[in-house]
């Protein structure tokens, strides 16, 4: 059952780094879609439900690169993706 508050918006597989500080490791992923309440990341890295992570991504606007560090937690996972809120 879906519990999303907003419509999914495709993200063109934007690269992201998942920083799971509790276990001291980082893992790459690709953002597949976003919504008002969260983000779905394609990754083969297993993460426990409710794990606290930091999502790191770079955006470009007007030829300026910006690093974004977003605190998130795991709300759902499948074999090839993890949903964060």
Residue 2 has pLDDT above 70, yes or no: no
Residue 18 has pLDDT above 60, yes or no: yes
Q: What is the pTM of this model?
A: 0.85
Residue 15 has pLDDT above 80, yes or no: yes
**Residue 13, C-beta contacts closer than 8 angstroms, at least 6 positions apart:** 30, 31, 32, 42
Name beta bridge partners: 27.
Answer: 18
Query: Which CATH code is given to the segment(s) 9-84?
Result: 2.40.10.220
**Residue 62, C-beta contacts closer than 8 angstroms, at least 6 positions apart:** none
User: Mind listing the pLDDT tens digit for each residue in 21-72?
Assistant: 888 989 999 999 998 889 999 999 989 999 999 999 998 899 999 999 999 9
pLDDT given at position 21 = 87
pLDDT given at position 3 = 59
């Amino acid at each position: 059952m879906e519990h999303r508050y907003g419509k999914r918006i495709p993200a063109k597989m934007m690269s992201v780094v998942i920083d799971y500080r509790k276990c001291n490791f980082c893992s790459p992923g690709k953002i597949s879609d976003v919504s008002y309440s969260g983000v779905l990341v394609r990754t083969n890295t297993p993460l426990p439900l409710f794990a606290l992570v930091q999502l790191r991504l770079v955006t470009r606007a007007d030829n300026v690169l910006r690093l974004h560090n977003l605190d998130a937690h795991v709300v759902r996972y499948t074999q090839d993706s993890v949903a964060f809120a």
